Structure 1
């Protein structure tokens, strides 16, 4: 893996710094708005604004990159992102912050498209898997570590935004100084929702449900634990443990899905996520049980998206994989835009436990759909199942990093 990482180390450093500086902003904005007395619906709307920006940015930023080039576009996205982060410290208002989160989503989409197209350019067939694994490690590690910047609020309320802006700005340096050439972004079109559903009903429903679940969690999870009485430090630990739990279980669940009917693993993961959500909703205070069930929830829910992509790919020809994965990540993002508002409505009606009751309802609905699909259709034969890959839920460009994308059918069947 080290030999594969070295040629793209500047890009990996950039994504790590960017996620360390920005990965906690959803948590921070939610905590600040909750402390100021904003309702769950206002906080959910701010979370939705970010994912809307991410969806629109994923579809539109390629035009900017083609017009001005990767390095200029990356520098522009990072500069705007840094300025937006500083603006949070100027004035606290839900409407202003929703606009800033929308801008953040656009910028993050632009950054991801730039970096992922670069990584795809540098990846050879034999190193693609190592590069993808390194990218995922850098992304999740930065996001988990960045949660602890919440603790800077105790020294000065504006300090977390200042440090975040510094880290985001510094993330531009490894990229603007890189000598790695970058191709124009892929102009391929994702498969339509109707085509995807015809190919894999469980894949499309599962990916969308996962987006709703994680969109609600990222936007309101910190509000939930704060209402249980957690301080900022404990909130940072909770969010970080959920993210790290998501990293820990992806590979074991993926390997199980390679050995058995993948639909059973998906259904089991949704069932486990449902059980974890119900347990969290019944916990009435901070402590070790909350952290353990939080880690279990993260481990199961984070694995669901790549499991659904792998299940969908089992029904595809190799040359359809990138287009299908692009469609699935867009559906995930649309679900993530719906999740914060729906989760906020549940918290308004049912109190703080309503968040995880709502997330559990999403998991239970997908679980029931998965059981129904198992009764309606035969499983994919084991010899035709492709290998599971841990994939990022960023932009459609990430689909091109899949090590099995575009492989010849006979090679794919043997993996």
Structure 2
């Protein structure tokens, strides 16, 4: 299994270092804005700007990569992201920071497009699953460990931004020194959203609602934790535990969905996420907060790849890559809307409003899922595709999914 990563070790190292530097910025920026007296709606708007940048970058960055090549494009995106990160330390103003977060989102999307298309080119058909698994581990472990840098600004407020910029800049080195030839970035023909929804209403709705919930979480969870009275160190620990929960439970839940009707597993995940969110909305503290946070991360992070797998079960093999691209864009649009919805709930209901908003989203999805379960027949077990963990990054990540191979059998069922 480890042998599969040898051709892509420099790429995996780059994403790990990149996420260690950039993965905690949303937490840090939310905390700094709150400490400066910004309201919840303003913090939500800044978070929305980041996810809006991700959408724009996912749609437009590929043109830059095709024009100048992977290495030059990667270096340009990383240099701009590093400069943007340092700019936060110069002047704190919500409008400026919203503009910087928009730039950050565009740059991060560009970085993901470079790395994911490169990974796809280097991965052999029989090793795609292993490469994708290691990519996910590098991405989320870097993001989780980066949360520990929140504590470094106690005496000098600029230090976390400086450390983030250093790590982001270091991510260029493995790419610039790699001996691996950069690939050509192809284009994927889009699948119409209407065709996708007809094939899999549950997959489409699930991806969008998961974006609403996780966009709200990433944008405002740190504010939730601080308003519960958690210290800066405990806030970082809470965020890290949620992310690690997301890493730990995706694979077991995915294997479960391979053995049983995947719709039931998706509905079950939404149901338990609803219960956990309702509990977190009561503003629990201590060990209970960490345990529930771990469970929330494990279930909510699994929902997007489960929805993609469900949609793949009901599409032709030739449609799966473009469908996965559409689903990640739907997720990103949902993530851009989520922080504002959650900010409104927190303004009305206090810190617990964040998870109250998430509970409402998951409750609506639970009802929709139960309706789809009653209205349609499941995909036969023998025809169901194997679950594959997928990142919620850019449409290019779909190319790494072994389920997109033409070897899979088409499924005509709808649901």
**TM superposition score normalised by structure 1:** 0.98
Q: What does residue 2 of structure 2 align with?
A: 2
Shift of 1:189: 2.9
Structure 1: which 5+ residue stretches go unaligned?
A: none
Q: What does residue 84 of structure 1 align with?
A: 84
Q: What does residue 300 of structure 2 align with?
A: 301
Structure 2 contact 312–403 (Cα < 8 Å) conserved? no
Structure 1 contact 118–180 (Cα < 8 Å) conserved? no
Query: In structure 1, what is the Cα distance between the partners aligned to 2:315 and 2:150?
Result: 44
Residue 24, structure 1, aligned to residue 24, structure 2: yes
Residue 396, structure 1, aligned to residue 395, structure 2: yes
Query: In structure 1, what is the Cα distance between the partners aligned to 2:186 and 2:389?
Result: 21
Structure 2: which 5+ residue stretches go unaligned?
A: none
Structure 1 contact 208–334 (Cα < 8 Å) conserved? yes
Query: In structure 2, what is the Cα distance between the partners aligned to 1:184 and 1:54?
Result: 22
1:48-95 CA-partner distances (Å, limit 9, x unpaired): 000000001101011111111111110000000000000000011110
Residue 384, structure 1, aligned to residue 401, structure 2: no
Query: In structure 1, what is the Cα distance between the partners aligned to 2:232 and 2:189?
Result: 43
Q: What does residue 163 of structure 2 align with?
A: 163
Q: What does residue 231 of structure 2 align with?
A: 231
Q: What does residue 366 of structure 1 align with?
A: 365
Shift of 1:195: 1.5
1:94-114 CA-partner distances (Å, limit 9, x unpaired): 100000000000000100000
Q: What does residue 340 of structure 2 align with?
A: 341
Question: Aligned with 2:406: secondary structure?
Answer: coil
Query: In structure 2, what is the Cα distance between the partners aligned to 1:389 and 1:372?
Result: 26
Q: What does residue 100 of structure 1 align with?
A: 100
Q: What does residue 317 of structure 1 align with?
A: 316
Structure 2 contact 317–409 (Cα < 8 Å) conserved? no
Shift of 1:411: 11
Shift of 1:192: 2.3
Shift of 1:156: 1.1
Q: What does residue 142 of structure 1 align with?
A: 142
1:136-171 CA-partner distances (Å, limit 9, x unpaired): 000000000000000101131000000000000000
Shift of 1:259: 0.6
**TM superposition score normalised by structure 2:** 0.98
Instruction: Flag as ranges the 4+ runs of structure 1 deviating above 6 A.
Output: none
Query: In structure 2, what is the Cα distance between the partners aligned to 1:123 and 1:361?
Result: 40
Query: In structure 2, what is the Cα distance between the partners aligned to 1:190 and 1:218?
Result: 28
What is the 5 A alignment of 1:33-52? Answer: 33-52=33-52
Query: In structure 1, what is the Cα distance between the partners aligned to 2:189 and 2:222?
Result: 36
Residue 327, structure 1, aligned to residue 326, structure 2: yes
Question: Aligned with 1:388: secondary structure?
Answer: coil
Shift of 1:7: 1.2
What is the 5 A alignment of 1:272-287? Answer: 272-284=272-284, 286-287=285-286
User: How many residue pairs get matched?
Assistant: 412
